[in-house]
Amino acid sequence: MSDLSATHQPAGPVLAIESSCDETACAILAPDGTCLAQRVVSQDGHADFGGVVPEIAARAHLALLPALVEATLADAGLATTDLAFIAASTGPGLIGGLIVGTSFAKGLALALNIPFVAVNHVEAHALTARLPGIVPDGAPFPYLLLLVSGGHCQCIAVEGVGQYRKLGGTIDDAAGEAFDKVAKMLGLGWPGGPALEKLAQMGNPDAIALPRPLLHRPGCDFSFSGLKTAIAQKLAPYGQAPLPHQFAADLAASFQQAVADVVADRINHALDMMPQARLLVAAGGVAANTTLRARLEDVAHKRGLRFAAPPLRLCTDNAVMVGWAALETWHESAERGLPAPNNTTLRPRPRWPLEDMAQRFEPDQASA
């Protein structure tokens, strides 16, 4: 179940920081995981470049974070001296933003003489379904996670805290990246996912024939570059001329449907590889897409599984999931009789495979 036993909870609330991409976020969680306050700032300054510019993102985190932490503490009616520990996303992600968030969190933790807990951003997404109240009756291990975002598209067997098996992933573009690039081709700007979904609502998903990359192939890897190329070919005859609105809407709807078909097929294969799963979880920014959610829910229903996806505000990057992952790590360390985690020597890393997470619970790594 998702509940953290009272005997293994920290002595006070937790401050969590997320800065792995272009969202600057803070949250404060009670020892049982209840969210006491949270704030998220979606950075300006990237749209003109058609995507996230790492240097702009890092500078924005540096400018926003101190006041954002102060405001979040005020929202919760707490002072820094009330905190039991501080957590931050330490990887994977854009290294500049990770350095800013991690350094701020470490510095504050050292000043307060409390632990700092490093959080794997992907693990935070993986454990979000276990937050209190997200899934009725909780989300016990094991379950299958589909992580779909701008930077990730993976099927992950979640078998416990720190116990993950990657069953498949994208061999080229992530799903969110494909949405953004197709939206840009359609002249929808950035970020493109929500705009493309809105346009698709006015289109016919069966109007334009598009490929379904890797459909029915063994395994559960993904590929979206061929689908993106097919969209470019459909648009080529128009050159620089404005697109007819209905054609653009039909193309958006047909693209969205193709992605949903591919993902549903890949998830069925992943479930064949993980027959012990009784729950299918979708997380990440693209999990907010209503068409994709509906297809995944249908797959789960047909296979006799429960389906869960976090509320839309917890699909995109946020600090609530970071704080929860830290609490799960704290709890698991106590369950194993290990010291409370304190990762002040751990450096931010742009890549941090989930397979490495089990090392945290080896005795010689518990306080590294």
Binding site feature residues for substrate: 147-151, 180, 193, 197, 289
Same domain, 165 and 271: yes
The strand pair at 153-160 and 143-148 is best described as antiparallel
Same domain, 298 and 359: no
For 168, the token pair is: 């498949």
Cα–Cα distance for residue pair 160/148, rounded to 1 Å: 20
Examine residue 136 and state whether it is found in any structural domain, yes or no. Answer: no
User: Would you place residue 3 in the very low, low, confident or very high pLDDT band (cuts 50, 70, 90)?
Assistant: low
Examine residue 323 and state whether it is found in any structural domain, yes or no. Answer: yes
Examine residue 133 and state whether it is found in any structural domain, yes or no. Answer: no
Examine residue 173 and state whether it is found in any structural domain, yes or no. Answer: yes
Q: Over the stretch 4-36, which tens digit does the pLDDT of each residue have?
A: 766 678 999 999 999 999 899 999 999 999 999
CATH number at 21 reads: 3.30.420.40
Residue 5: its pLDDT value, please?
Answer: 64
Examine residue 330 and state whether it is found in any structural domain, yes or no. Answer: yes
Examine residue 161 and state whether it is found in any structural domain, yes or no. Answer: yes
User: Would you place residue 368 in the very low, low, confident or very high pLDDT band (cuts 50, 70, 90)?
Assistant: very low
Same domain, 169 and 225: yes
Same domain, 213 and 345: no
Same domain, 298 and 339: no
Q: Looking at per-residue confidence, does 358 or 290 come out higher?
A: 290
Per-residue DSSP letters for 178-206?
HHHHHHHHTT--SS-HHHHHHHHTTS-TT
Same domain, 23 and 150: no
Last residue of a domain, one of 270, 293, 309: 309
Domain range for 176 is 141-309
Q: Over the stretch 128-184, which tens digit does the pLDDT of each residue have?
A: 999 999 998 899 999 999 999 877 899 999 999 999 999 999 999 889 889 999 999
Please give the single-letter amino acid code of residue 299: V
Last residue of a domain, one of 309, 341, 357: 309
Residue 285: its pLDDT value, please?
Answer: 86
Per-residue DSSP letters for 35-104?
EEEEEEEEPSS-GGGTS--HHHHHHHHHHHHHHHHHHHHHHHT--GGG-SEEEEEEESS-HHHHHHHHHH
Same domain, 250 and 156: yes
Cα–Cα distance for residue pair 296/58, rounded to 1 Å: 35
Binding site feature residues: 121, 125, 147-151, 180, 193, 197, 289, 317
Same domain, 158 and 301: yes
Binding site feature residues for Fe cation: 121, 125, 317
Query: Alpha-carbon torsion 296, 299, 304, 305, what sign?
Result: negative
Q: Looking at per-residue confidence, does 226 or 42 come out higher?
A: 226
Lookup result for tokens 């992600």: 93
Side-by-side strand order, sheet with 23-29: 35-42, 23-29, 14-18, 85-91, 116-120
Q: Residue 145: what are its φ and ψ, rounded to 5°?
A: -110, 130
For 362, the token pair is: 């080896």
Examine residue 80 and state whether it is found in any structural domain, yes or no. Answer: yes
Same domain, 350 and 334: yes
Cα–Cα distance for residue pair 183/134, rounded to 1 Å: 31
Same domain, 177 and 288: yes
Q: Over the stretch 317-333, which tens digit does the pLDDT of each residue have?
A: 999 999 999 999 999 99
Residue 364: its pLDDT value, please?
Answer: 47
Q: Find the DSSP H helices in the chain.
A: 54-76, 95-112, 121-127, 175-185, 193-200, 225-235, 245-273, 290-302, 312-315, 319-335
User: Would you place residue 47 in the very low, low, confident or very high pLDDT band (cuts 50, 70, 90)?
Assistant: low
For 95, the token pair is: 């290294």
Total number of domains constituting the chain: 2
Residue 1: its pLDDT value, please?
Answer: 42
Percent of the chain with pLDDT over 70: 95
Same domain, 224 and 249: yes
Same domain, 350 and 289: no
Task: Indicate if the pLDDT at residue 366 is higher than 50.
Answer: no
